[in-house]
Amino acid sequence: MNVVRLGRPKGGLNAPLHSISLLRFKLYPRSRFAYVKFRLKSDTLNSPASDLLLLNIPRNELGIQMLSKELKEQIFPGTKSSVPKIKAALAVEHLKRQNIWGKNVQPVPNTGFKLPPLKGGNIEEHFKILGKNQSEPYLSRAKAWSNSKELPPRPTNWQFISGWTKYDLDGSAIPVKYPEDDFLVFDIETLLSESDYPLFAVAVGSSGWYAWVSPRLTGESDKLSHLIPMGNTGKVIVGHNVGFDRARILEEYNGSGSNNVFLDTMSLHIAVGGLSSHQRVSWINYAKAVEKNDSEYLQNEQVTGRYFGVSSINRLSEVAKLYCGIHLDKSARDLLVSGTIEEIRDEIYPLMDYCASDVSATHEVFKKVFPRFLRKCPHPVSFAGILHMGNSFLTVNRTWEEYIEKSEKTYNDMSRSIENKLKELALAAMKTSEDGSFADDDWLKHLDWTTTPLKMTKPKFKKDGTYAKNGEPRPYTNQFLPGYPEWYKASYDKKSNDLRITTRTRIAPYLLKLKWRGYPVYYSKGHGWTFRVPVEDDIGGNVKPCTFTEDPLDPNYEEYPISDVAGKYYRIPHKDGEQAKCGNPLSKGYINAFEDGILTSEYPAAREALNMNAMCSYWISARERIRSQFVVWNKENEHVGNLGFAEQEPDNEVGIILPQTATMGTITRRAVEATWLTASNAKKNRIGSELKSMIRAPPGYLIVGADVDSEELWISSLMGDGQFGLHGATALGWMTLQGTKSQGTDLHSKTASIVGINRDQAKIFNYGRIYGAGLKFATQLLLQFNPEVDEKTAVERSTTLYNATKGVKERSLKYFGKPFWHGGTESYMFNCLEHIATSANPTTPVLGCTIPDALLPENVENQFMTSRVNWVVQSSGVDYLHLLLVSMKYLIDRYNIQARFMVSVHDEVRYLVKKEDQYRAALAMQISNLWTRSLFSYKVGIHDLPQSVGFFSCVDIDHVLRKETDMDCVTPSNPEPIPHGHQYTIEDILEKTNNGQLGDPIEETVEENTPNASKKPTFEFEEYFDREYLEAQMYTDISDIEAVLSGRQSPFIEDNLREIEKISNPGDSEEIIVDIETALGEPKSKPETKEVDASSPTYITGSLNQLLGKKAPGARGNSKRRSQLNKFINQASRSNE
């Protein structure tokens, strides 16, 4: 037997094993290994129940568990992981200084199975081939079109005929079913005031122009639901914000998808010349100054001027002006926004000219921006990735309409309830005017009690002194609530003829008699909501009272606080810091203050009002976007048939929503969509927050997907680890890979303990910091989480956090010729991120995408560093997503898995899958994640991967879309829990797929030509991070850094190398005695002894499977089976002596 010895070395973490208690085992049907539960016992270690798969654990020099040899040899063929000893020793010292080295780590199952073979010679060539194959023929067509010279002549006489008309090169107009060209520039127009369906469209290809007119517009049909046929012939369709146009194309409403692909000139522009959120306002102001020729402003904003010349906001008119110098006349747009169908019909010819002008401008923009995009994003996966992202779709059934109705009803009912209670309080307050007691009330006295008396007409008398006919005094007409105070009149709704006060009304906190820390609230024009404290009271902390102007001419002058010599006023804290004003203490941001007893009221209605605000906040913000979703139903649109779904429930129609996505909607190339990509998860106190779960799989299908675990955190930490060439070499890398919540060694737990917040809040701190946010962000966040913390304390805690994580920034150039961070858990990572962000041409390390022109250092100097660091992290996250999508597309097509990409929300990916293929799709997702992580590791120069990140922690298989399969999705509008889905680990999936069998691959029709893959990492750490710099970053004290540069020999090197040696060569193992505590049955056949791979734990378990056979219920004390197992273990031990 050639197997590793089933034992552990003496001493430390690796205490000798004296016995294995076998607890239970389960044979995987049709597989070559068993699942064995056991407990390890020794004089120093009694472990929890564990898996036999853990017994043969490959580790790197730092003890990080790596992929099994079986997987590594398939993903990194012909490579060896060798790291200079000095780097490993420095990594150990850094981990010691961060109190991490030597922490006990629980191993995870060490998985091995046969993967689909790589294309090309390595993982990088593999992805280049996949990307190239999936990009064609679309990429070649797009390149050819961008090099084309002139468009065909635009028609001068449009035909007002329903359907498609082609305007040939000779000027003739011919009815066609759909455009014949394989490359089109396209634009549609709608009348949104009437319907989401299209009214007319214009397209152009190399063979001529095309126009489509809806039968609704020509008067041939009363139905609104007409979609535009495009054919299913593999067209490339270009448009500006083309996601809007795609949602009106007939062939896209099919569960199997179409063969057409879409390229968005708006997204291409954003990747090339887009603006960050911080730049956008400055750009708009600069554009206004240019228009007004404001020379003084332009002189003062020279940096803005530099990026102004290479960027623009995203409107077609501005993009066309930037790249082509085209000035579009958009006046006709007004009619399409506010006109009627009759007005559109009357002006159809000028409107079609207008649409054709947009098509021409889009064509010219595409010719300019597409070649630039390919230079910015040269990897074929980046192009293929946006094609896949542009084909998202969602399925619903009639529960969609029920959801909207229930949410709206719940919202209205709740709003009315609170309004009625506030109305009761207002009427009660009115009664205090009878005796004037409002003047002594700490809240009501601040209302405006000014009244306007009832005005009567002048009486007319007869000579005898009696009233003349109709001469009695009468109230003047059109008087509004005479005799009522101004606050009451301001709250009166004339339309409903009733008092209407909501939680957003200014007087609501007064009526509810709110208190902050036991003191009455007061609204100040200059300070927002405050609370009044008697002058003799000390509220502690460093908060300063408000000051008020004494100038009566000042617009913020307030008579009451100035005259109140017995009180002082403090601002109610705001999450954005002491300079921000509290606009409404009843807003959802103050719910925690109410729960903590900081915000109080004598009325139960106050709590109800706060809860109602929280419950309604999501629906208020999202209801219009949700209600306006464009859903195409199969029964309402006979021309779409069954939407491609063979199985239909007679009482539950199927509908499709095409998210109108900008595939690269931000400068980091993240996709943007107004509803689905921002949808929150279901919360018990948020009306309508079950939105995502309204996406339902049609009959016969399931939704399969996963969240990439700590995606951008891992990417960031990998850049720091890459300097050492070792996974887990930095404190951040180690915490990301091996840290646990239970031991408090993961990043979020560490941050929570430093700042004094909970772990969920710490996540926001950590991601904000990694995205480049500074102390100001952390301070504001802490004030938001804990209103009782004053700003000085918040600054101190945030500074402590940043010193411990980012470290201290040395700005002097005398040490390494550049500023650098040192002494923190994340210093290595930030130095790497900032090195990329400040380089002449910032590029993502994996796919080599370059930052947009508006953030290039030559255009912004040292400004916008937060945006630039954020770009490195988030744009790398987009690389990850594109790689994942391309891999999934390859496996779906290669193994004929019936699955289609649905949607991706940053680190979530979901597919619609036929039920019979659910486990194969889940396996494809795991393989895709493994390949993607491996390429990231490969590109930073580490040819291995930690086991803990190789696979998704689980793949979700569900019938609805939701963050977690066990979420009930119970909300105020959905009181009934939704049945749960299922989660499957890689071990579960291997069991379901006969140990990783995707099935028989279908024959490939694309030619496999191997592109030249780079032999070096994209980011060459050796060049930028030498040995002295590597060591210097770990030190807090600058004197240690100076000692390193002076040539000091680090005293710890030899000791650390010896500790590494212990991990690499654990020494002799002791013989293991096996105590079988589980009843075992008789074997079906005589066990065989085979030669097996020493590094593959699946072979060890396979041998045990042969020895143990299948468990027989009720069989006990089988000495024969015990003897066989002992013999196997003893043979295994002796074979390595």
| Residue 240 sits in the same domain as residue 353 | yes
| Residue 259 sits in the same domain as residue 326 | yes
CB count, 10 Å around CB of 291? 8
| Residue 158 sits in the same domain as residue 241 | yes
876 in Cβ contact with 844 (< 8 Å): yes
What's residue 759's pLDDT? 79
| Residue 472 sits in the same domain as residue 542 | no
Residue in 540, 529, 537, 532 with CA at minimum distance from that of residue 561 = 532
Q: How far is 474 from 455, CA to CA, in rounded Å?
A: 8
Q: Between 866 and 386, whose confidence is greater? A: 386
| Residue 462 sits in the same domain as residue 529 | no
What's residue 224's pLDDT? 85
Beta bridge partners of 213: 163, 200
| Residue 35 sits in the same domain as residue 157 | no
202 in Cβ contact with 151 (< 8 Å): no
Beta bridge partners of 521: 531
What's residue 1116's pLDDT? 37
What's residue 1008's pLDDT? 57
Mean pLDDT of the chain: 84
Split at pLDDT 50, 70, 90, the class of 4 is very low
- Residue 1074's domain spans which residues? 1-55+1069-1137
pTM (2 d.p.) = 0.85
Domain-ending residue, one of 435, 462, 484: 484
Peptide linkage before 198 cis (omega within 30 of 0): no
What's residue 1088's pLDDT? 35
Q: Which residues contact 300 (CB under 8 A, 6 or more apart)?
A: none
Q: How many residues does the chain have?
A: 1137
Split at pLDDT 50, 70, 90, the class of 1007 is low
| Residue 180 sits in the same domain as residue 319 | yes
What's residue 756's pLDDT? 74
| Residue 260 sits in the same domain as residue 372 | yes
What digits encode the pLDDT tens for the residues 409-444? Answer: 999 999 999 999 999 999 999 999 888 899 999 999
| Residue 458 sits in the same domain as residue 536 | no
What's residue 742's pLDDT? 65
CB count, 10 Å around CB of 804? 19
Considering the candidates 182, 187, 245, 958, report the single residue annotated as catalytic: 187
Whether 632 maps to a domain, the answer reads no
Q: Mean pLDDT over residues 457-483, rounded?
A: 80
In the numeric block, the tokens 């455009």 are attached to 179
* CATH assignment at residue 180: 3.30.420.390
What's residue 1024's pLDDT? 57
Whether 427 maps to a domain, the answer reads no
Domain-ending residue, one of 434, 467, 484: 484
**442, burial (CB in 10 Å: exposed 0-12, middle 13-18, buried 19+):** middle
What's residue 456's pLDDT? 79
Q: Which range scores top for mean pLDDT: 33-37, 443-447, 577-581? A: 443-447
Split at pLDDT 50, 70, 90, the class of 379 is very high
Token pair of 882 as six digits: 């594109």
Whether 237 maps to a domain, the answer reads yes
Whether 411 maps to a domain, the answer reads no
Whether 917 maps to a domain, the answer reads no
| Residue 27 sits in the same domain as residue 165 | no
> For every residue of 571-592, which 3-state class applies, written as one string?
ECCCCCCCCCCECCCCCHHHHH
Whether 228 maps to a domain, the answer reads yes
Residue in 754, 758, 769 with CA at minimum distance from that of residue 804 = 754
Tell me whether residue 187 is one of the annotated catalytic residues.
yes
Instruction: Tell me the backbone φ, ψ of residue 209, rounded to 5 degrees.
Output: -100, 160
Q: Which of 215-229, 590-604, 806-820 has the lowest mean pLDDT?
A: 590-604
Q: Mean pLDDT over residues 452-472, rounded?
A: 80
What digits encode the pLDDT tens for the residues 671-699? Answer: 999 999 988 899 998 999 999 999 999 99
Whether 1063 maps to a domain, the answer reads no
| Residue 370 sits in the same domain as residue 242 | yes
Q: How far is 70 from 261, CA to CA, in rounded Å?
A: 38
Q: Mean pLDDT over residues 951-970, rounded?
A: 95
| Residue 477 sits in the same domain as residue 540 | no
Name the 3-class secondary structure at 823: coil
Domain-ending residue, one of 339, 361, 376: 376
Token pair of 713 as six digits: 């955190």
Q: Which of 374-388, 981-995, 1051-1065 has the lowest mean pLDDT?
A: 1051-1065
What's residue 355's pLDDT? 97
Number of domains forming the structure of the chain: 4
Whether 257 maps to a domain, the answer reads yes
